[in-house]
Amino acid sequence: MEFRHLRYFLALAEELHFGRAAQRLSISQPPLSLNIQQLEASVGAQLFTRNSRGVQLTAAGQAFVPAARALLAQASDAAREAREVAEGQSGELHIGFAGTMLYCGLPQLLSRFQASHPRLKLVLLELSSSEQLSELVRDRLDVGFVHTPRVPPGFDQVLVVSQPLVACLPLAHPLARAGVVGLDQLRGESLVVVSRTVSPDYHARILSECEQAGWLPPAVHELRHWLSVVSLVSQGQGVALVPQALQKSALAGVAFVPLAQADVRYDTRCLWRSGRDQMALKDFVQAVQRVG
C-alpha cells in the first residue's frame, strides 16, 4: 500500500465516478482503476462495487475512508514536522546556563528568540559550568553558557559577557558605603564562595586574588549557588567577590562595592559543538552573537 493508493481511493470515494475522479487527479481512468485494484489486493477486501448504476462504496470501503484520511493527514503532519525541524522552526533545543545568566540578559534573549521560533521548544537546564561541560561533551546539551575558559576540543565559543567582580558586603560592614574597596582591605574577613566542585575556575581565581593581595581568609564557606552566597553574606557570615550582575538580584542586607582591582573579571562564554547540522542551533548562536 502506498500513499498514492490512498489519495486515489479517497478521490474515487468522494466522486463515486471514475471519470470525475481521474480528472480531479489529472490522470486517465486506466491508471486509476489499476491503483484501486492494487489497493484492494493490499487491503484484502473489495472497497467499491461497480455496476451499470455507477460506483458505490462497500461496507469495507466506508470503514476504510476515515482510516485513509487519518493516514494521509499523519503523513502530511510528519512531512511538515520534518521540514520545520530542518528549517529550525520546530523540535527541541536544550540550553544549559549558570544562574548568573538570569541577570545578564538571558531571559530577554530567550524571549526574543522564542518569538521568532514559536514552534521550537526551548528546554532550559540550570547547571554549573562543570556540569554543562560534561553534558555538552555527551551531547545532552545543544548549547551552554559557562563561566570557564576551559573549552573542550571540538567546540566553538563566543564571549557573551565580561563583567567585573565586586565586593559583596553586609550592610553593617564598615566598607559597605565606600566608593571602592581594595582586596587588601578585606584582610581577616571570612570568605563566602561558590564551591570548588561547582565552579573550580572561579573558586581558584578568587583564592588566588586574595593571596596576591596578602589576604588568607580565616574561614571559607563554600555554597552551591550565587544567591546562597549573597544570602549568607547578608546574614553577616563573611564577605564575597561576586559578578556585578548580582546587584540586580535585589536581595536585602548587602552592599555591592566596586573593587580597586578592575581587572578581576568574570567572563561568560557560549559553547556549542562545532559543525552541528542543526538549523535551530545555528539560529540561536546567531542570536547570541548579535548580543555578544
Residue linked to cell 587588601:
184
What pTM did the predictor assign? 0.69
Element (H, E) at 126: strand 121-126
Q: Kindly report the CA angle at 28 between 8 and 58, in degrees rounded to 5?
A: 40
Alpha-carbon distance 90 to 251, whole Å? 38
- What is residue 77's predicted lDDT score, i.e. its pLDDT? 67
Q: Which burial class, exposed, middle or buried, applies to 280 when counting CB atoms under 10 A from its CB (0-12, 13-18, 19+)? A: buried
| Contact predicate 66/96, CB 8 Å | no
Q: In the numeric block, which cell numbers belong to residue 182?
A: 581594595
pLDDT at 85: 60
Q: So what's the pLDDT on residue 86?
A: 59
Residue type, 274: S
267: amino acid identity, one letter: D
Q: Which residue, chain included where needed, has cell 489519495?
A: 7
pLDDT along the chain (292 residues), means of 10: 82 86 89 86 87 82 87 76 60 91 92 91 92 94 92 93 94 94 93 89 89 87 92 95 90 93 87 88 91 70
For residue 144, the cross-strand partners are 96, 271
Residue with cell 588566588: 208
- Strand, helix or coil for residue 179: coil
